[in-house]
A and B are shown apart, each in its own frame.
Chain A
Amino acid sequence: MTEQTDFVEIRHAQKSFGALEVLKDISLSVTRGQIVGIIGSSGSGKSTLLRAINDLDPLTGGEIWLDGVQVNKSLPHRQYEKHINEMRQQVGMVFQHFNLFPHMTARENVTMAPKMLKGLSQAAADKLAEEQLDKVGMLERIDYYPSQLSGGQKQRVAIARALAMKPKLMLFDEATSALDPELVEEVNLVMKRLAEEHMTMIIVTHEMDFAASVCDRVLFMDKGVVVEEGPPATMFKHPTKERTREFLRKHIEGAK
């Protein structure tokens, strides 16, 4: 009998910047196809935790595992670089400020990495770009530059760019926080569609409604620890911890 290992496992994650400890012994596991939301006020460590998963912000202690492989394993520098680049190809990431490449069209943004890292031909890359941009409703803007797109459109292209690497896991770091309110919905719709396709996702968000409607599980983080976690229905309606209640109260009032 083989032991069930979870798809994503974070074991005793610890991260300090100098004397400041931003992640304090966090453990978390995510099964394949699960959608996990992370909420919490700024400075709670939620983005740092997300960025540790693909080693953008390396942990100072603890382990990250993805699909049975340790992401942050200890290797000599050269080998580690090679290993981490391979791991990152399997993890898509979407940023608050999109970070599209401004000197490339939507098509080039989507195809650059697959062409470079997977050796796709121009024809195959074009087909991939069309597929992925169609999926996010951006096919018509395939040859537009980012400067010619709205925020919501940029973020949808950024999602297509991440998906083009056929990742096993998608990380969203406040994907809609920088958007004008009327543009949030189009990005949320794309994320909902991904959820329906059972993409494994970890979503750092400020949008409680969205988290409630999409996530299987929600974590509330504060001061570097997971204060409380559970299915959204329980988390949002009947939080057990005082800190969670306080955060939700402020947040829901803030939203009104």
Chain B
Amino acid sequence: MGLDFSIIPKYLDVVLLGAAWTMGITVASAILSFFGGIVFAVVALYAPWIIRQPFRLIEWVFMGTPLLLQLFLIYFGLVQIGIDLPAFIAGIIGLGLHFAVYNSELIQTAILAVDKGQMEAARTLGLSRGEALRKVVIPQAVRAVIPPIGNNMIALLKDSALVSVIGVSELTLSAQRVIGKTYRPFEFYILAAAFYYVINLCMEWVQRKIERRIAISR
């Protein structure tokens, strides 16, 4: 059986829908991982001991175990304690928190690297520590870590294929389903790969846009 790419148009809508799900899940969990990363970083650096501990446990779980297991735990495990999440929500939470932990590491380092004169200047004007963090320190830290966070987000896009295991019809699973009908794995995996590549390019473009916008204010 040779290759026949002419079969693609017939099933393109299925794969496109899968690509749309992948994009949606990636964007939603990227946003969650970004803001979650900031929250984790601030808690790790500034929260009192008693609040830090549960967060450390969450961080340990999400950093020290496979993402696949985390997705199973959130989707199948939480049902047992009465939390029944739709698969795509479970996927977004799993991916989002997993990468939030990685983003948090970057943001913590960046917060500590902001010149201490910045905090002093803000405090001198009368801002509280919290206000100074929010308006002065964190915005600068976040600007500094946009490039490495961008790398994490591309890893997130690729790992979003894992949510197929909890039944979300994203790009990889859609391709598999089409292959199940057509027995044409090469054509449709290549097609899926091409879509991942295009989404990747879009994300890099957005990242460059953001970087250019903040370049002047560094």
Assess whether B136 is in contact with A101, with CB atoms less than 8 Å apart: yes
Stretch from A59-67, A82-90, A122-130 that touches the partner: A82-90
Q: Please report which residues of chain B, range 116-134, place their CB below 8 angstroms from some CB of chain A when the two chains form the complex.
A: 117-118, 120-129, 131
B218 and A54 contacting across the interface, CB-CB below 8 Å:
no
Q: Given A56-B123, A95-B120, does the pair A103, B143 have CB atoms closer than 8 Å?
A: yes
Please, how many angstroms separate the alpha-carbon atoms of A103 and B125 in the complex? 17
What's the nearest-Cβ distance from chain B to residue A116, in Å? 6
Q: Which residues of B contact A42 (CB under 8 A)?
A: none
Contacts A112-B135, A147-B218: A99 and B121 contacting too (C-beta < 8 A)?
Answer: yes
Closest beta carbon of chain B to A165's beta carbon, Å? 6
State A175–B215 Cα separation when bound (angstroms).
Answer: 27
Residues in chain A near residue B216, CB distance under 8 A: 145, 147-148
Q: Which residues of A contact B135 (CB under 8 A)?
A: 112, 116
In contact, A102 and B140 (Cβ under 8 angstroms): yes
Contact A145 B217 (CB under 8 A): yes
CB–CB B140/A113 < 8 A: no
* A-B CB contacts (within 8 Å), total count: 70
- CA A59 to CA B75, docked complex, whole Å: 55
Indicate if the CB atoms of B117 and A99 lie closer than 8 Å: yes
* B185: interface (CB < 8 Å): no
Does B4 reach chain A (CB closer than 8 Å)?
A: no
Nearest-CB distance from A94 to chain B (Å)? 9
Q: Tell me whether B214 is interfacial, beta carbon within 8 Å.
A: yes
Known: A116-B131, A117-B126, A161-B125. A103 touches B217 (CB 8 A): yes
- A159 to B143: give the CA distance in the assembly, Å: 26
Minimal beta-carbon separation of A153 from chain B (angstroms): 16
CB pair B126 A89 closer than 8 Å:
yes
Within 8 A of B (CB), among A56-113: 56, 81, 85-86, 88-89, 91-93, 95, 97, 99-104, 112-113
Contact among B126, B129, B140, B143 with A88 in the assembled complex (CB-CB below 8 Å)? B126
Please, how many angstroms separate the alpha-carbon atoms of A215 and B127 in the complex? Answer: 30
Asked if A85 meets B126 with Cβ closer than 8 Å, knowing A97-B117, A103-B139, A116-B131, the reply is: yes
Q: What are the residues of chain A within 8 A of B121 when measuring CB–CB?
A: 93, 95, 99-101, 158
Contact A103 B127 (CB under 8 A): no
B131 touching A99 by the CB < 8 A rule? no
Chain A interface size band reads 20 to 34
Assess whether A162 is interfacial by the CB under 8 Å rule. Answer: yes
Which B residues between 93 and 138 are near A, CB-CB below 8 angstroms?
115, 117-118, 120-129, 131, 135-136
CB of A242 to closest CB in B, whole Å? 36
Report if A56-B124 is in contact (Cβ < 8 Å); known contacts: A101-B118, A103-B217.
yes
Inter-chain contact B120/A56, CB cutoff 8 Å: yes
CB distance from B144 to the nearest CB of A (A): 10
Q: Are B120 and A162 in contact (CB under 8 A)?
A: no
Q: How far is the CA of A81 from the CA of B127 in the complex (A)?
A: 10
User: Closest Cβ of chain A: how far from B110's Cβ, in Å?
Assistant: 13
**How distant is the Cα of A85 from the Cα of B122 in the complex, in angstroms?**
10
Contacts of A145 in B (CB 8 A): 216-217
Contacts of B122 in A (CB 8 A): 101, 113
- Which residues of B line the A interface, CB within 8 A? 115, 117-118, 120-129, 131, 135-136, 139-140, 143, 214, 216-218
Q: Pick 13 A–B contacts, CB within 8 A, sort by A.
A: A56-B124, A88-B124, A95-B120, A97-B115, A99-B115, A99-B120, A101-B121, A102-B140, A103-B143, A103-B218, A104-B217, A112-B125, A117-B126
Question: Assuming A99-B115, A103-B214, A148-B216, what are 11 further A-B pairs, CB within 8 angstroms?
Answer: A81-B129, A85-B126, A88-B125, A93-B124, A99-B121, A101-B118, A102-B218, A117-B125, A117-B126, A158-B121, A162-B124
Q: Which residues does A use to contact B, with CB under 8 Å?
A: 54, 56, 81, 85-86, 88-89, 91-93, 95, 97, 99-104, 112-113, 116-117, 145, 147-148, 158, 161-162, 165
